[in-house]
Amino acid sequence: MEEMERRSKNFIEEIIEKDLESGRVKEIRTRFPPEPNGYLHIGHTKAMCVDFGMAEKYGGKCNLRFDDTNPTKEDVEYVDAIIEDIRWMGFDFGDRVYFGSDYSEQIYQYAVQLIKKGLAYVDDLSPEEMREYRGTLTEPGRESPYRNRSIEENLELFERMRKGEFESGEKTLRAKIDMASPNLNMRDPVIYRIKKEPHHRTGTQWCIYPMYDFAHPLQDAIEGITHSLCSIEYVDHRPLYDWFLEKLEIPNPPRQYEFARLNINYTVMSKRKLRELVEKGYVDGWDDPRMPTLRALRRRGFTPASIRNFIELNGISKTASVADWGLLEHCVREDLNKNADRVMAVLKPLKVVIENYPEDLVEEFDVENNPERPEKGTRKVPFSREIYIERDDFAIDPPPKYFRLKPGGEVRLKNAYFIKCTGYETDENGEVTLVRAVYDPASRGGESPDGRKVKGTIHWVSAKHAIDAEVRLYDKLFAVENPDDIPDGSDYKDYINPDSLIVIKGAKLEPCLKDAKPEEKFQFLRIGYFCVDNKDSKPGNLVFNRTVGLKDTWAKIASKQQAGNG
RNA sequence: UGGGAUGUAGCCAAGUUGGUAAGGCACCAGACUUUGACUCUGGCAUGCGUAGGUUCGAGUCCUGCCAUCCCAGCCA
């Protein structure tokens, strides 16, 4: 691990190392605290990498803790999904799956202690009144008329709140801090509210629930968390976090540190927007491969390693930033280049007849599975008189520097033969429908028999051996870098990339793909990385999702030429 | 007009006692190539939000200013 330490330390690592050296903590304990109210998305993986990653790196442990203090928003459906996604990412929480709701009694007792110290009171203000009393950003708030109830009265009222003697919203328990604080979080924050709603874990056992600001530091304390790592918007909450721990005299209190959350261009991360895309049918569900949810990325073919590397390369800091989707693409390419087997697939087939090749002959060529990993061996690929090539690999009137197939031109069929185009047929629209060619038997295996240079090498599939498949070409969900920052009067949904999904029905694949399994990943030679869809693909009816295309220098050259000519 | 956080290249991001701007992505130019992929080589901030100041010397210290983001849930 040490020799891999090429990058400089981030500020959290500095803090942890200092704490370890000074003996402030003996062992690192962190927590990953999702609220089970939705699916995890790639933004959450940054928190995962920080929470689990720091524990991993420094020989500590990270707890998975569901932050479930609001029964109206949470559901077990999400806890199962979240656990599955974290496991898929490869993070280890052992048997340390905790629920904030399991600490209900302890948190309640802490609240009682606060009341006894004269540091909390039961308030009768309505939500509207409370907002008025809170003041504004520039004006101090006013104290509630109920602020000075006696400790005895507060104790009694709080107990009656617990017993269900009041209706939802009728009373709250508030910390008594400072209504004039410039930090609004310190203006007597509500720490308990009445919600007569069944909770997904505790049922109807409780009708009062602690607020995040009160529950979180105490949950951390109960679990012996040493470093409570969270995102930057909680900086303003830290004084409150510390206040509770101090007033309740928690020994060796946990400390909170904040880092910037992850934003990525060409997508949206807000739960509200993601939900809208799903509910209004702009995408095909939470696991639509264009979504930034983990289930979607998984289905699209992204690997946990590539996502973790993406987070790693982006780094941890406090700067509000927008990461580049292109870097994520780079990371999967890097992973899959090393790990995905190569295979030939023709997405837009154009038939080529090799006129001097025997009618009934079938040859099998040995083709290596992955040039990056010779140990992955070879496979047999059948070849015959009629093959399919990519429509883009033939041009009647090619642009300069085009070195694929053209009339009179010669090209290498990868691992097979050189062929020379002798003619072609078109339909009434001028579309090429068939290409005629002859092969050079001496070029068997794609070798140059006489040392002649054939610059172009293209992929192909034997027509009679090809299997059909549906191929879904996915691209960025949005056509603009920042769908959250668009002109007034427009809607972010107007900027959905119309080409974010292109479905190809009649793709022709080499036969070895027949038994490809869901989530299996391949490089379609010269095209990109593809993954067997884990939902719709069935034997005999294969569906492949494009994770990402290969880098395409030719496309760049061609578009430059076009720009130059236009 | 209150408080907090943050400003280093197109995008991330190092830079810890002041000593002359790491690295990655992207991009550009070459080499190699039976994937126009991969890999390799070279290029890419007289400049660190800005204006002053201290100093032999400032991204680092001081002062002022500007910009962006967060906060007025009985959400997390």
Task: Please say if the pLDDT value at position A3 is more than 50.
Answer: no
Check if the beta carbon of residue A266 is closer than 8 Å to that of residue A476.
yes
A393: the nucleotide nearest its CA (via C1') is B36
Which tens digit of pLDDT belongs to each residue from A77-135?
Answer: 999 999 999 999 999 999 999 999 999 999 999 999 999 999 999 999 999 999 999 99
Mean pLDDT of the A515-536 span: 98
Which tens digit of pLDDT belongs to each residue from A320-330?
Answer: 999 999 999 99
Domain range annotation of chain A: 26-261, 271-341+469-558, 345-459
Check if the beta carbon of residue A155 is closer than 8 Å to that of residue A143.
no
Say how far apart CA A535 and CA A159 lie, in whole Å: 51
Which tens digit of pLDDT belongs to each residue from A124-173?
Answer: 999 999 999 999 999 999 999 999 999 999 999 999 999 999 999 999 99
DSSP alpha helix (H) spans, A59-200:
76-89, 104-116, 127-134, 151-163
Check if the beta carbon of residue A495 is closer than 8 Å to that of residue A480.
yes
Which pairing describes strands A543-549 and A467-474: parallel, antiparallel, or unpaired?
A: parallel
Instruction: Give me the pLDDT at residue A145, please.
Output: 98
Which CATH topology does A26-261 take? Rossmann fold (3.40.50)
Say how far apart CA A562 and CA A406 lie, in whole Å: 19
β partners of residue A496: A478
A528: the nucleotide nearest its CA (via C1') is B37
A130: the nucleotide nearest its CA (via C1') is B74
Q: Is the CB of A90 under 7 A from strand B?
A: no
Q: Which of A239, A233, A219 is nearest to A69 (CA)?
A: A219
Q: Is the CB of A313 under 7 A from strand B?
A: yes
* E strand or H helix that includes residue A219: helix A212-222
Q: Is the CB of A525 under 7 A from strand B?
A: yes
- Catalytic site residue from A35, A153, A156, A197: A35
C1' (B17) to CA (A346) span, angstroms: 62
Establish whether A84 is an annotated binding residue: no
Instruction: Give me the pLDDT at residue A234, please.
Output: 98
Task: Please say if the pLDDT value at position A5 is more than 90.
Answer: no
Q: Is the CB of A442 under 7 A from strand B?
A: no
Task: Please say if the pLDDT value at position A520 is more than 90.
Answer: yes
Instruction: Give me the pLDDT at residue A6, please.
Output: 63
DSSP alpha helix (H) spans, A265-324:
271-279, 294-300, 304-314
A258: the nucleotide nearest its CA (via C1') is B5
Q: Is the CB of A522 under 7 A from strand B?
A: no
Percent of chain A beyond pLDDT 70? 99
Which tens digit of pLDDT belongs to each residue from A218-250?
Answer: 999 999 999 999 999 999 999 999 999 999 999
C1' (B58) to CA (A323) span, angstroms: 30
Establish whether A67 is an annotated binding residue: yes
C1' (B75) to CA (A134) span, angstroms: 17
Mean pLDDT of the A543-554 span: 98
- Catalytic site residue from A147, A196, A247, A261: A261
Which pairing describes strands A501-509 and A345-346: parallel, antiparallel, or unpaired?
A: antiparallel
Amino acid at A493: K
Which tens digit of pLDDT belongs to each residue from A9-18?
Answer: 999 999 999 9
Task: Please say if the pLDDT value at position A562 is more than 70.
Answer: yes
Establish whether A270 is an annotated binding residue: yes
Task: Please say if the pLDDT value at position A566 is more than 60.
Answer: no
CB atoms within 10 A of CB A438: 17
A401: the nucleotide nearest its CA (via C1') is B36
Instruction: Give me the pLDDT at residue A191, please.
Output: 98
Residue A544 CA: distances (Å) to CA of A255, A339, A350, A358: 47, 17, 20, 33
C1' (B74) to CA (A271) span, angstroms: 22
Say how far apart CA A79 and CA A36 lie, in whole Å: 5
Q: CATH topology of A271-341+469-558 equal to that of A345-459?
A: yes
C1' (B3) to CA (A543) span, angstroms: 54
Instruction: Give me the pLDDT at residue A561, please.
Output: 87
pTM of the predicted structure, to 2 decimals: 0.96
Q: A56-68 b/e with 16+ CB inside 10 Å = b?
A: bebebbbbbbbbb
The protein residue nearest B11 (Cα–C1') is A324
Is A481 one of the catalytic residues? no
Q: Which of A515, A405, A522, A435 is nearest to A471 (CA)?
A: A522
- The hierarchical CATH code for the domain A345-459 is 2.40.240.10
Task: Please say if the pLDDT value at position A2 is more than 50.
Answer: no
Say how far apart CA A269 and CA A43 lie, in whole Å: 7
Q: What is the ipTM of this complex?
A: 0.97
Check if the beta carbon of residue A92 is closer than 8 Å to that of residue A61.
no
Instruction: Give me the pLDDT at residue A449, please.
Output: 86
Q: Is the CB of A319 under 7 A from strand B?
A: yes
Is A271 one of the catalytic residues? yes
Which tens digit of pLDDT belongs to each residue from A258-282?
Answer: 999 999 999 999 999 999 999 999 9
Mean pLDDT of the A255-260 span: 98
* E strand or H helix that includes residue A325: helix A325-339
Establish whether A36 is an annotated binding residue: yes
Say how far apart CA A353 and CA A463 lie, in whole Å: 10
- DSSP string spanning A235-260? GGGHHHHHHHHHHTT-SS--EEEEEP
Instruction: Give me the pLDDT at residue A451, please.
Output: 87
Instruction: Give me the pLDDT at residue A1, please.
Output: 32
Mean pLDDT of the A367-391 span: 97
Establish whether A37 is an annotated binding residue: yes
Nucleotides of B under 7 A from a protein CB: 1-8, 10-16, 22-28, 34-39, 68-76
Q: Is the CB of A31 under 7 A from strand B?
A: no
A169: the nucleotide nearest its CA (via C1') is B74
- Catalytic site residue from A73, A196, A271, A391: A271
Say how far apart CA A333 and CA A357 lie, in whole Å: 37
Q: Is the CB of A71 under 7 A from strand B?
A: no
Say how far apart CA A317 and CA A324 lie, in whole Å: 16
Class in CATH terms, A271-341+469-558: mainly beta
